[in-house]
Amino acid sequence: MAAVATIIVLAAMVGTASAADEDGGKLRQGFYDQSCPRAEQIVRHYMEQHVPHAPSVAATLLRTHFHDCFVRGCDGSVLLNGTNGNEAEKDSPPNASLRGFAFVDRVKAVVEQECPGVVSCADVLALAARDAIGVIGGPFWRVPTGRRDGRVSLKQEALDQIPGPTMNFTDLLASFQSKGLELPDLVWLSGAHTIGIAHCDSFSERLYNFTGRGGPSDADPSLNPVYAANLRRTKCATPTDNTTIVEMDPGSFLTFDLGYYRGLLKSRGLFQSDHALLMDAAARADVESVASGPPEVFFQLFARSMVRLGMLEVKTGGEGEIRRHCAVVNS
C-alpha cells in the first residue's frame, strides 16, 4: 500500500489528472461480462501463450493500437485491408512497418470461436496490446470495452493524421491536441519508444547531409555525435537503407523501462520527434522527473494516458458494426 501511495503522490507531482481518467467515457469496464464472459480471458491467455515466443510483437501491437486510435478513433479501421477501389490506412507509409495484423486476426478468430459476432476488432486490438505489454513486464492499464468497428479506412487520413518522426514539438503537441490529448499524454505515450524497433529510413535524414553542407559527418547536431557515428558505421550505412532495423532503446528494446527517457537526456532519442520533448520546458521537466525513477511512476503515468488514448472518438451502441474478420467489413 505504501508503495502505491508513493507512486500516486509522485505521479501527481509530475502532472496530469482529469475526471475523464477515472471513467471509460462511453465505454464500460467488462462490457462483455454477459455477452461473452470469457472474451478478455481468451485474449489474455492467447498473449500469455504466444508473446513469450515472439516478444517483439508487443511493440507492434501497441503501435498499431495507437495508429488505430489516431485515425477515426479506436475503431479497428487500421486493421482493414484495402479494396479494389480504395487504399486503406494500412497502405500508407506510416503503416508500412506495422507487423501485427496477422496476429490480431488470429486472436480475433479464437474469440469468434467462443462468441461469434460479439467482440469488436477494436476491442480485441486494445486488449491484445495491453496484455502483450503485460507479458513483457510493462505497465497494466484498464481497458474499458464496448468499442464498435468502423467500416471506413482511408490511406490519406493515416498520411495526414499519424505524427511523423521529423515533427517538432509544436507540431507534435498540435497533433495530440487535435485528438483531444494534452502535453502530458505526448510525453508519457512517447515513452512507448522504450520498446521496439525502427527502420533506418525513419531517421536516417538525421545521419546524412542534415544541414545540406554535405560531408561524412553532417549529422543532426542535436543527435549525440558518438551515437550518430555509430549508427552510420554499424547500422544505417547508406542514406537510402530502408531495410535495416535499429532498436529504439538499444540494449533493452524488449523491456518496458526508463531507457527511453534516459536516452533522450543523453541526446540519444532516435527521432527528431523524440528529441523534441526536450525543446519545451514543461515536457523536459516531465522527462527529467521520471527518468530518475522508480519505473512505477512512469508506468502509472503511461497507463493513465493509455486509457485516454483508448477512448478517442470511439464508436458505441448502434454505430459501426462487430466485424467478423478484422481485415474486411461485414458484407
Ligand X SMILES: *[C@@H]1O[C@H](CO)[C@@H](O)[C@H](O)[C@H]1NC(C)=O
The reply to whether 163 sits in an annotated binding site is yes
Query: Is 327 a binder of ligand X (CB under 6 A)?
Result: yes
Contacts of 308 (CB under 8 A, 6+ apart): 20, 21, 180, 181, 185
Rounded to the nearest 5°, which phi and psi values hold at 198?
A: -135, 150
As given in the structure block, the three cell numbers for residue 132 are 502483450
Q: How far is the CB of 50 from ligand HEM (least distance, A)?
A: 16
Looking at the DSSP bridge assignments, the partners of residue 245 are: 199
The reply to whether 257 sits in an annotated binding site is yes
Query: Cα separation of 144 and 28, whole Å?
Result: 5
Give 81-90's long-range contacts (Cβ < 8 A, gap of 24+).
81/327, 81/328, 82/153, 82/155, 86/153, 86/154, 86/155, 87/154, 87/155, 88/153, 88/154, 88/155, 89/153, 89/154, 89/155, 89/157, 89/158, 90/153, 90/155
As given in the structure block, the three cell numbers for residue 3 are 508503495
The 8-class DSSP code of residue 96 comes to T
The reply to whether 21 sits in an annotated binding site is no
Query: Is 209 a binder of ligand X (CB under 6 A)?
Result: yes
Q: How far is the CB of 180 from ligand X (least distance, A)?
A: 21
Q: How far is the CB of 309 from ligand HEM (least distance, A)?
A: 6
Query: Is 157 a binder of ligand X (CB under 6 A)?
Result: no
Task: Please identify the residue of the shown chain whose CB is closest to the bound ligand HEM.
Answer: 196
Interface residues toward ligand HEM, by CB under 6 A: 56, 59-60, 62-63, 66, 97, 99, 163-165, 167, 172, 186, 189-190, 192-193, 195-199, 202, 271, 273
Q: How far is the CB of 289 from ligand HEM (least distance, A)?
A: 19
Is 67 a residue of the active site? Answer: yes
Query: 45, 53, 65, 67: which is the annotated catalytic residue?
Result: 67
Instruction: Show binding-site residues.
Output: 68, 71, 73, 75, 77, 89, 163, 193-194, 249, 257
> Using CB under 6 A as the criterion, which residues of the chain lie in contact with ligand X when the complex forms?
81, 90-93, 95-96, 98, 168, 170-171, 209, 212, 214, 242, 325, 327-328
Q: Which residues define the annotated binding site for heme b? A: 193
Instruction: Enumerate the active-site residues.
Output: 67
